[in-house]
Amino acid sequence: MAKVTRDAEATKAKIIQNAMLLFAKNGYEATTADEIAKACSVNKAMIFYYYKNKAGLYSAVMSYALGAIHDEIITTDKCCISPLADLEAFIKTYAAYCDKNPYLSALILRELSDSGAHLPEMMFASLRKLFALFSEILHEGEKQGLFHDIEPMIIYFMIVGTVNLLITTKPLRENAAKMENPLNTCSDCDIDEISEYIFKKVKLMLEVKE
Amino acid sequence: MAKVTRDAEATKAKIIQNAMLLFAKNGYEATTADEIAKACSVNKAMIFYYYKNKAGLYSAVMSYALGAIHDEIITTDKCCISPLADLEAFIKTYAAYCDKNPYLSALILRELSDSGAHLPEMMFASLRKLFALFSEILHEGEKQGLFHDIEPMIIYFMIVGTVNLLITTKPLRENAAKMENPLNTCSDCDIDEISEYIFKKVKLMLEVKE
Amino acid sequence: MAKVTRDAEATKAKIIQNAMLLFAKNGYEATTADEIAKACSVNKAMIFYYYKNKAGLYSAVMSYALGAIHDEIITTDKCCISPLADLEAFIKTYAAYCDKNPYLSALILRELSDSGAHLPEMMFASLRKLFALFSEILHEGEKQGLFHDIEPMIIYFMIVGTVNLLITTKPLRENAAKMENPLNTCSDCDIDEISEYIFKKVKLMLEVKE
Amino acid sequence: MAKVTRDAEATKAKIIQNAMLLFAKNGYEATTADEIAKACSVNKAMIFYYYKNKAGLYSAVMSYALGAIHDEIITTDKCCISPLADLEAFIKTYAAYCDKNPYLSALILRELSDSGAHLPEMMFASLRKLFALFSEILHEGEKQGLFHDIEPMIIYFMIVGTVNLLITTKPLRENAAKMENPLNTCSDCDIDEISEYIFKKVKLMLEVKE
DNA sequence: CATGAATGAGAGTTCATTCAT
DNA sequence: AATGAATGAACTCTCATTCAT
């Protein structure tokens, strides 16, 4: 069984990583195979060798990225302590993860504003599982009489949409802060403040007041 | 074939309209000049005749679209009745306008997830003016002791981000509803329900409870 | 007969002048109708109205330019005084004229290096008449026993080719003079020195030494 | 169709050769990438693959062509025998080389009538080296008291300009010979006669008569 | 006579993808 | 597994030319 050459795996991983970065930065169409190949010092043909075509690579990138976030949330969530604690964990884990992987937010937003033109089943399923998890938390809260008047899809977007937008617009907001007559664009809010703030507000929205 | 109009304004308008639609549907890079030209039965060269290049056209489209929404909100807002009424008007006008012009949400989201890579001062200024208006409403409410703990940028995204996402993901959510084990994706919520719901929730987030 | 509007003539003349300049500077292909129109503040369609097409304009430009030089030489030449005086007059008039109309040299050289791809009969005839005149001078000198061993075509190019090249390369030679280790490129020779020098040398080439 | 070679050097060479020919025949602007590609049975994209863009190809063509002539003259010149012999060698080698490579004269003339608008240091340097060589011969002749009243730039153009013009106008002169009332345009002078004649005349121009 | 709108045919360039080695 | 050469189908943009007014 001798020396296993894991070059193949290494190459595939390099491609995924660099492609993810570039897709996030420039979008699907504006990212070229040449560019990706150069970024990872890999021959362009390898991209097609491993991922068949550009769409295949994109799909691999997305399912990698989304798979990761789903796992992170599942494992981090101290599931089932209480709906409120679960909610808090969801928000904070999601925010922290996106903040650490800043390409992710751009990828997700872009995909959603495309109505998933590029995205294949698998990735759609990932997005769906995440929402299912969230939905479950809200329904459990409602069942326990803690939350009321929930509309999971809307609440979900109020959370993840906002987090994603705050992350992708960070440079934009920082520039805006440097202009004259600056508005307060929360340009130096850090991610913990943001997720804390969002959690607090969502709690107000949902909790039954006695 | 393709009757010749020889009316500059009409031609320019046709180009803008069709380009807007296509840019919204497919994004900047994936939209081709040929496609736009065919969509408006105009010679491709006219695009360059009037807008110099693709970026120029995009820029014209964006400033048209954003200019329109800003005007709509300014004129519709029954400004200054009360912060709460203003807030309600803002949310509902914004949502209704985006719903009637469905390309708009996609354009805005895409631009935001790009950090405005594609474009220019004018359009940035438009986005900014809209936020400034919103920000002013919240501050006024705070001054009057009605609202508390406001972070305008975050609240703003919770509203417009959510509206935009719900609009762009409508087809996606409808498809999801047809699957087995469907989740409730609010797939047949209409825009008035949505904006009413958002308003109600935002009110809960902001209002000082006595 | 009232006020005669000579606008037509004025417009045509403006077009010729500006076209000549641009053709000389950039060559036939690299000069566009738009450019010419803008340069003379005339509507682009007028170019085609008056000259039918680009080739027609070029042809008009060339026959204007070459017609002028031919006339200039004919009328200036104190014809038939003596072959040597005629030769001197030819060289100096040609050089002075090209120097005053700097576009001309470029036009001629370009046309010659194209083997007259663009040039129509008329202009070919003009070039030919000029050469015929020159040829006649040499033959007359030979008949009178003043010149020997003449090969008119070669001598002709030694004169007009050299003058034209010195004129068109002036900027090039001036730049070369500013480099380190400059060569003497005759970069500040004026046209009178040049034509005097050429005449002197041609005389040495042709005159029968007693 | 068009057998695939997959030999980079061969492909690059084919492109250069055919491009040289076409640039010489039609000029820079009038030569299209399609035309070049077809001429060498190579995919059009290869031009850009190897030479980045049209200007890059042109530049490569010129430096190839000029490099070659310079080398030819350097190696052929039985340098330093005597200024007169060197001069003769220069003229004859130059003429013979241009005659064998007929595209070269057109390229050079065109470039000179453009004042080198199209191109770059490297090629400019090549032209310059050739002139430097020539200049050196004349100065050496002057130092040895053999030549007098030299103006190298002018003499240089009298030689190379004339040779180039005679070569490029060959078809033109042949046509002229077929007309009625033909002039003697040296239309069947061969290159050896021409260079011999030029050498003889230049000698008369330069030599100190005892 | 003059204008600006409109057109169609390309030109240069890019890019995903495949092939031969 | 990996490379660099090769391809073909676009794509953006330009330009001579014509048409309607």
Per-residue pLDDT of chain C (210 residues; tens, 9 = 90+): 333 444 788 899 999 999 999 998 888 999 999 999 999 999 999 999 999 999 999 989 988 888 788 788 877 755 677 899 999 999 999 999 999 887 889 988 888 887 666 666 767 777 888 899 999 999 999 999 999 999 999 999 999 999 999 999 888 888 888 888 888 999 999 999 999 999 999 999 999 876
B-chain CB neighbours of A115 within 8 Å are: 168-172
pLDDT tens sequence across A74-93: 777 556 779 999 999 999 99
D-chain CB neighbours of C23 within 8 Å are: none
Look at residue A112 in the predicted model and tell me its pLDDT: 85
D82: phi then psi, degrees, rounded to nearest 5: -160, 150
Interface of A with B in 145-174 (CB under 8 A): 149, 151-155, 157-158, 161-162, 164-166, 168-173
C-chain CB neighbours of D170 within 8 Å are: 115
Mutate to test the interface with C, among D153, D155, D208, D209 (most CBs of C within 10 A): D153
Domain ranges of chain D: 61-206
C194 vs chain D: nearest CA distance in angstroms? 8
Res A196 pLDDT > 70: yes
Contact D30 C26 (CB under 8 A): no
For residue C119, give Cα distances in angstroms to C112, C116, C134.
10, 5, 21
D50 CA: nearest nucleotide by C1': F5
B-chain CB neighbours of A157 within 8 Å are: 161-162, 165-166
Cβ-nearest to D132 among C113, C154, C183: C183
Cβ-nearest to D113 among C110, C155, C205: C110
Q: Which token pair is D77?
A: 């010149």
- Which one of A7-11, A116-120, C115-119 scores highest in mean pLDDT? A7-11
Contact C186 D117 (CB under 8 A): no
Mutate to test the interface with C, among D124, D158, D175, D190 (most CBs of C within 10 A): D158
> Is the CB of residue B135 less than 8 Å away from at least one CB of chain A?
yes
* CB–CB contacts below 8 A, C to D: 147
User: B147 pairs with which residues across the strands?
Assistant: B207
Nucleotides of chain E in contact with protein CB (under 7 A) are: 1-21
- Looking at residue C160, the DSSP 8-state letter turns out to be I
Chains A and C share 3 or more Cβ pairs within 8 Å: no
B130: phi then psi, degrees, rounded to nearest 5: -65, -45
- Looking at residue B161, the DSSP 8-state letter turns out to be I
User: A147 pairs with which residues across the strands?
Assistant: A207
Q: What chain A residue is nearest to B185 in terms of C-alpha separation?
A: A153
C-chain CB neighbours of D117 within 8 Å are: 26
Given the candidates 2.120.10.30, 1.10.357.10, 1.10.260.30, 3.10.450.240, the CATH classification of the domain at C61-206 is 1.10.357.10
Interface of D with C in 63-92 (CB under 8 A): none
pLDDT tens sequence across B41-75: 999 999 999 999 999 999 999 888 888 888 888 77
Q: What chain A residue is nearest to B196 in terms of C-alpha separation?
A: A154
Q: Which token pair is D42?
A: 């190579």
- Looking at residue A207, the DSSP 8-state letter turns out to be B
B12 contact partners, CB below 8 Å, separation of at least 6: B50
C48 CA: nearest nucleotide by C1': F17
Expressed in percent and rounded to 5, the helix, strand and coil fractions of chain A are 75, 0, 25
User: Percent of chain A, pLDDT > 90?
Assistant: 59
Look at residue B56 in the predicted model and tell me its pLDDT: 95
Cβ-nearest to B204 among A113, A171, A205: A205
pLDDT tens sequence across D140-190: 999 999 999 999 999 999 999 999 999 999 988 888 888 878 889 999 999
C-chain CB neighbours of D139 within 8 Å are: none
Contact C200 D168 (CB under 8 A): no
Contact C154 D184 (CB under 8 A): no
Would the pTM of this model clear 0.85, i.e. be above it? yes
User: A207 pairs with which residues across the strands?
Assistant: A147
What's the Å distance between residue C24 CA and nucleotide F15 C1'? 19
CA D131 to chain centre: 12
Res D68 pLDDT > 90: no
